[in-house]
Structure 1
């Protein structure tokens, strides 16, 4: 299944005003706003709520899913976030996504420059997040239960950079801290507060500052080196994402980066669309112990898991994640597309930790709001 034609946009231009900063980025003037409405044609089987609420990254800053009231179907859910665009991500806009009739309806609001080229970039980022071009019929032919639940398009970030950063923040850490790290990166590091920071934003700060102020721990050095790789050309996004690139080539390139071991590399691969990969970790061990009654080391479980999911090739990761995601929803008692901010942020936490962790997450969110008010 291929991505359908991106439809033309209509726009309402109130006024446009922006100021350039010393680093070339554009500082938005909130008193002037350009609003643009665009639509992206999607397949009849596309479901925005199920595409967004399918993978843990959707609850990480700066993503925000707003479920509808219980009386309405999830077709009325709304997804919001800032997107960076333009050369080196120097511009920012706020996008709001809703489900239309065979379309994703998008509202773009910005005080930064915005032309047709920028709109094309924004649309492509949205298509990447929602995996609009994923061949879901092929996957569903292998997994009837997933088809009955509309599951298959796994949410990801709008850019490879953001996916790789988020992968760093999920390694060897509890989920609640992953949530906190991403929130602090958006609120303390980004040159457009609240948006995801660009590589250039990260390089304005030392690893020591990032470690202290963003609760990154040892990941601060890895993040700093990753940002350097994106800015100095070590990571050529066009090369990485070229359609001719093989899984082995990307595996070798990613594994050579500081901080990217087998788990992180496998996770980056699945986020890029190589779904035969195996980013297995302690969650895999827990899942197989609880759901498949298999006990053993990570190496033992990895071998068993590869055998278990082999029949779903080339979508082994989707099959694995379907089982995990179904388990998270059962533990929470609510389908992911109905998650509010509180339970969404804590879905992977142990039940006995949730009350304490919920308060910690609220404290971070409230502090970020206080800092934002002080900077306005």
Structure 2
């Protein structure tokens, strides 16, 4: 739980001879439960861990990403990497010699939120495992990975709507690239501030959105990452990674739907953790409300390929900055995940433009409510394919209740444990997957061979 966090500070120098950057390390006490805490299980438990700026290294089992020092300020962003020790969690903050006690608390609070280390979440994990003992899933431990801030969760829930998974990943990547430009006051970001009508053609995401034409050239950044990986592998004794992803050699894996996703390239992934220099040379943190509030909607839509989502995101950011939406109040209401507060929270979210049933249910899941299962076309597919149900949008809530109602109030965790197992059966262990293969997780790759012969339909989500 958050109150049991133990912080041990140490000012050290990077052990690599070619890197003189200092780092500052905190140590967090791990939850004490019936089963030992596993970082890889806590991180690789939801698609959010695949979304930038999160970077999971399957070799070192390390999560690296930037974190804001202040909730809304863009002035202080630090690169942080998480790794597990036998009895603690090591939180390494790169590029600093010292952190004040207040800064340390702010960093560890964000880490605790991402990994759901609170006493309430620990209680939910224990109770879920108790009611779900008939269907244990060793790869899913009951913790669902989320973002360090509620704002990032809310925006990412918007990015889940009405698109394939590759497009969602692309939009998140573009937002983090934009944050880097805003933080460093680069010209391409400056054109988005105010109402200046400046040509934005050159300021599109480096990773194109889905349905874009396939890339004919490999970016310089990708080539550098590939070269750096080769050097790193040589240094560590010619490590072999062919075994890491079952889907890369699994003959049963269905072909990627190039009509709805990007071309996958093996050199798009980055394994350099915590020294992943090139990736974070051009990829920043997830944007804060302050950074987004003054952007022009058309610029943001085009720069990050957000489409209609750009307006929702900017309005959300503005409402937070102006105090119309109090994120701390929402977090406080959900602190104990009391069902009596659920309707109040849902009603508040309903007032926010762009937050339909699917998006709200996802946000509330991020806040710790597991009795409602957010459903969309992927949920319908799963019930048809795994449970042989003739599910439609009219019958899905009844079907979900019949299948998962016995796990109340943890219906979502039971559903998610099942669907996560399905994904890993089809694509391989998520904690071993290369980041370049995340985009293989598409609806077309989850359908049976017979069903893929039918005409593909666009996903339908009640956003």
- Per the normalisation by structure 2, the TM-score is 0.67
Residue number in structure 1 paired with 2:280: none
8 Å CA contact 1:9–1:36 kept in 2: the answer is no
8 Å CA contact 1:165–1:223 kept in 2: the answer is yes
> 2-side partners of 1:236 and 1:210: how far apart?
24
Residue number in structure 2 paired with 1:89: 73
**2:315 aligned counterpart, secondary structure:** helix
Across the aligned residues of Structure 1 and Structure 2, the Cα RMSD in angstroms comes to: 2.2
Q: What aligned pairs does 1:342-361 form with structure 2 within 5 A after superposition? A: 342-351=436-445
8 Å CA contact 2:24–2:92 kept in 1: the answer is yes
Tell me the CA shift for residue 89 of structure 1: 3.1
Tell me the CA shift for residue 349 of structure 1: 4.7
Tell me the CA shift for residue 39 of structure 1: 1.0
For the pair 1:174 / 2:264, whether they are aligned, the reply is no
Tell me the CA shift for residue 104 of structure 1: 1.1
**1:54 aligned counterpart, secondary structure:** coil
Tell me the CA shift for residue 218 of structure 1: 0.6
1:327 aligned to 419, 422, 429, which one?
Answer: 422
Residue number in structure 2 paired with 1:338: 432
1:184 aligned to 174, 192, 197, which one?
Answer: 174
Residue number in structure 2 paired with 1:132: 117
Residue number in structure 1 paired with 2:285: 195
For the pair 1:39 / 2:27, whether they are aligned, the reply is yes
For the pair 1:157 / 2:147, whether they are aligned, the reply is yes
| Cα deviation code 1:255-311 (max 9, x no counterpart) | 110000111001100000011122111111000010111113223112210221111
For the pair 1:6 / 2:100, whether they are aligned, the reply is no
Residue number in structure 1 paired with 2:264: none
> 2-side partners of 1:43 and 1:319: how far apart?
22
> 1-side partners of 2:7 and 2:45: how far apart?
28
The structure that is strand-richer by fraction is 1
> 1-side partners of 2:319 and 2:374: how far apart?
23
1:100 aligned to 85, 102, 105, which one?
Answer: 85
| Cα deviation code 1:153-189 (max 9, x no counterpart) | 1100010000000000000111100000000000024
Which has the higher relative contact order, 1 or 2, with Cα contacts under 8 A spaced 6 or more apart?
Answer: 2
> 2-side partners of 1:271 and 1:286: how far apart?
23
Residue number in structure 2 paired with 1:50: 41
Distance 1:156 1:201, change over 3 A: same
Distance 1:330 1:222, change over 3 A: same
Tell me the CA shift for residue 37 of structure 1: 0.5
Residue number in structure 1 paired with 2:105: 120
> 1-side partners of 2:158 and 2:23: how far apart?
34
| Cα deviation code 1:201-233 (max 9, x no counterpart) | 112321100111100011010011111111111
Uncovered stretches (5+) of structure 2, i.e. residues with no partner:
14-18, 184-282, 448-463
8 Å CA contact 1:34–1:109 kept in 2: the answer is yes
Aligned residue pairs: how many?
328
> 2-side partners of 1:219 and 1:113: how far apart?
39
Tell me the CA shift for residue 328 of structure 1: 1.1
Residue number in structure 1 paired with 2:295: 205
Q: Between Structure 1 and Structure 2, whose CA radius of gyration is higher?
A: 2
The structure that is helix-richer by fraction is 1
> 1-side partners of 2:137 and 2:45: how far apart?
14
| Cα deviation code 1:131-150 (max 9, x no counterpart) | 12322221111112336445
8 Å CA contact 1:203–1:227 kept in 2: the answer is yes
**2:72 aligned counterpart, secondary structure:** helix
8 Å CA contact 1:4–1:41 kept in 2: the answer is no
Of residues 115-124 and 162-171 in structure 1, the stretch that sits farther from structure 2 once superposed is: 115-124
Residue number in structure 1 paired with 2:382: 287
> 2-side partners of 1:107 and 1:212: how far apart?
36
Residue number in structure 2 paired with 1:71: none
Residue number in structure 2 paired with 1:266: 361
8 Å CA contact 1:4–1:43 kept in 2: the answer is no
**1:298 aligned counterpart, secondary structure:** coil
> 2-side partners of 1:303 and 1:326: how far apart?
23
